A and B are shown apart, each in its own frame.
Chain A
């Protein structure tokens, strides 16, 4: 019964995204080389495999965790080594900043049948990328533990804190909360979520000048620290992998985790039976009385290089379109991600991401200098999390580190 209602909710939430044109596309023939660079996880492998099906010319794919270190260099030459880079909303910025990807409007008009309007990433009126999957962090909880503690699924981070205290006091778990708080990118991501949840603005409007050293920034840090008190003391070394492992081992009762990680948590082959049975997905939480969920929406998509011949660009576009062809969404590919592709049927592991979209969560900012702030946050708020300095000092440090970096990149004078 509950499952059916959930499915209905999900379907309608996803339907909001959708404005389908129509799907077509089988038999993919290309006449020039295609070379893809991208990150390394199953959903991206599935897309690259689809591109490789194309006949007529060679399709190469270099999928590696180091993709961000090589994609700009590999697309800067003329002709570029890579004709397509698979990126996300945070990483498209580097390609835009270095001016190595081309507008796709003409190719979309010619070969873009079946693309939904929301798949087109437009910057300044030009289509620069085609999105194929979405992701977001949201609440996951263990229904059995919450039941034993006599609490309901938290709607806000304040409730989560209170719940954690009850679980700990009742002796149900030593460290009831989990989270990807690893120093660096992960911790900065959690700050970003929480700061958005508090309604904060990262920059003075229309400029690259940072402004996080304010009451909202302090509240954000205080909340992160309060949560970390209920986490495994090693939390600063826990990335998503380690946090998922803690969850699977049954050590954690509540956490804010990526939607893309839910499948494995609920897979009986990968986790202990009790954990699988009681792992329940919740909506993203809000914080500080705000209505915007403290999470960010993400998309992954592909781009086409600028410094290649038009024939190569066309071949690349066709091959990548085949990679995200709705016909390829079979039982194997379907559960790999929250696909933005026509014909995607959300499963029980996808309700959290759908909820984030429904609750009007804010997409991770696609700003040229957001990455610099992210790096600065990742290294400078660590001291605060360890109790070595106060929140205001930490935020001042972040601003100083960001300003030095932004000056170097020419964003600030």
Chain B
């Protein structure tokens, strides 16, 4: 890698207004003709493609600097405007200046006394360590704009209006750009400070253009199409319009044409120059290409998502990266990432040859393009050799000091990322595991921090190229260091799905395993330190994955009683042994108060990862050992029980009907601040909700603990009791925009109901479960509600995304300094201690630090 010494550093960048004088100096050509090329296809002198503005064709030389394509940076040209023209982007400043200065003497409309007072204030405010805050725009300009007489020459001031986009009216008389420029010229340098303008930044009259700089050819290169035809850049098209109009204007002026014609051409020139700078100004019709396509002019190149900043500078494409679909693999460690051979053979790590590793690296070079190989060898004289035929020579010349770019192998550190990268766990460092087939493989346990699933998600891979970056990645970004989220200080990575279910099945009740079965489970889960026993309980097997001296009590208050009853209601771990309790999602999953959090707190990242690895292996092995399948029959409800549900629901229906009766008779007492109708709705909702919940409870009573679908729910592996209720008992009220469904036909939701029917079934209450089947009207209401939530989701996501973007942009430079203060990029203090308590949540215990616990632990040692 070539590195150059830093000779100079950029201390800052300052923007000023371009002066006509400098513009003339910069312009290496005067553009006089809109023509581009002559009959031979050679650029015309003084045309828009003049060779003095730089070369874009290979073979030609620049007529300004004499360099060829690669070396010539391009040079500006200039168009002398026949009449001055306003610069659109400065209009608002010019408007302020015109209103704040005298129309006759040009002085700022502020009395001498006021000037003295403000001058001191402004000069004070400009100092770097100033404690004076002044907003010129607000305080001063308003004062000046409203004055009716000039305090210096006594001239009466007229109101000036801006007629968008770029015309100034004094009373009703139009101010030409010449008038405007003259007025701005009259403002003395010493008065500029009151207008909020720095004298160093230039003169106000420079905001009215007399010469237009033409960007170099290199900025607007023409493209030669396959047919040999040339296609010009949008900017060149626009400049052609400007030159043409300017030419016509100047001819008409010298020919003494009538004022109307001159004014029309002048306006046209103004239009072309306006759209040259900015083609998306309201009130100005955008300039179009012949085909009707809107031209992409200067500000479009810079602005917004597809502009230079967000597209090219903040969004660069990088080498040493890969992207494919992800799929799950519970046999690899959460810290590993499975990488296809095809990708591993393409991505490389530069490794410096030393006496100690030369033999090892030589093997890679020998393999060449064949998998564990190398693609390039970099020698100190900077040569980069491709493999294949030259292999023998390269091998014989390989010496310490060279760099071999070898293929990825198992154990290399890589970055793995899924967009949107909303938090720091969206990019984590993994270890490479090269695998067959063409997808990236991840352990399902790390799906949560990436917010990934396997329905076609793609993820990105980046290979750090230096020792430093790999070391940083290992220490700061390794998956094991990211188990605790900095948002609330609890694990974000933990057991899920099969792992939870497996551990649940293993530890529930007092299952006994023969030594053979236990060995089978443990060895395949990577646990080799197995006690010499004839029989194992499930709890004993699970205990083997825990640290030997771990103490954990799920709930201190309930612990005593639970231990006495041995009712498995609470997880208690003593000396690394699961004494009582069933392991479920609460104890090994992500989230507050899990065993995993305790292990991380006491034993650190490495140990936590080991436990996690074993949980995932043991969990899935247990599920395979027992076998697990679910059946639709799991949600069956006995006829007698279903009758109870029906009764409960019709009870609710009657209650609702009674309320509606009351309302129809006008006897319903309205709630304060509500109409009777609103009161009816708010009274009906809880009745129906309660009915659904009750009917659910009735059904769940029969299901509890009996079947495997419910086992899944109980352990926290997947599904919720609500899912069971929806299937087996009652789907419940459907909503549209937060209310019962109330639209469709006139005074009714569907033509199946009577007009004005407010009853539960006419307004979207579904009294069947999915299994019993919905009636046609219920089905339709369900579809309405489903579409509503889909639309809502589609609108919320981009909204919150933009909110997030603004927040990130506002906060990105704020960091914690070594002294504990939180400061922004300028060093200004934001907080005196991070979060007011100075705690790094990602290294805390649920956002707090339990000092008593720490003391107790150390005292007992």
Tell me, yes or no, whether A binds B. Answer: no
